[in-house]
């Protein structure tokens, strides 16, 4: 079984398109937690495409595995591999 590299996908309406501050924390959309970057990217893409007409709504991918294991050397993934 492949090692889990957990990723969180979430988003919501921002106060300003140039900032990363949410307008209402109670309305943050937690899309889900995914076992790898590819699955998270697909979920992020779907959520972002559903809100494409709202410029103030943004979605993000958080590399939870990097937060959970900060002592590991999480170097940038090579171009042929996603983390």
Name all domains of the chain by residue range, CATH numbers in brackets.
Answer: 7-68 (3.30.70.2400)
* Nearest partner of 65 among 81, 38, 83, 42, judged by Cα: 83
Q: How many CA atoms lie within 13 A of 31 on its CB side?
A: 23
pLDDT in tens, 21-31: 999 999 999 99
Cβ–Cβ < 8 Å for 59, 13: no
- Give the single-character DSSP code of 78: P
pLDDT tens-digit profile, the chain (83 residues): 677 899 999 999 999 999 999 999 999 999 999 999 999 999 999 999 999 999 999 999 999 999 988 887 666 554 444 54
pTM across the whole model = 0.81
């Amino acid at each position: 079984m492949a090692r889990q590299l957990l990723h969180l996908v979430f988003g919501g309406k921002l106060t300003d398109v140039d900032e990363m501050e949410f307008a209402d924390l109670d309305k943050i959309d937690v899309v889900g937690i995914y076992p790898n970057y590819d699955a998270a990217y697909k979920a992020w893409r779907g959520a972002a495409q559903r809100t494409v007409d709202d410029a103030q709504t943004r979605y993000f991918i958080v590399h939870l595995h990097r937060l959970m294991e900060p002592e590991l050397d999480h170097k940038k993934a090579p171009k042929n591999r996603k983390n």
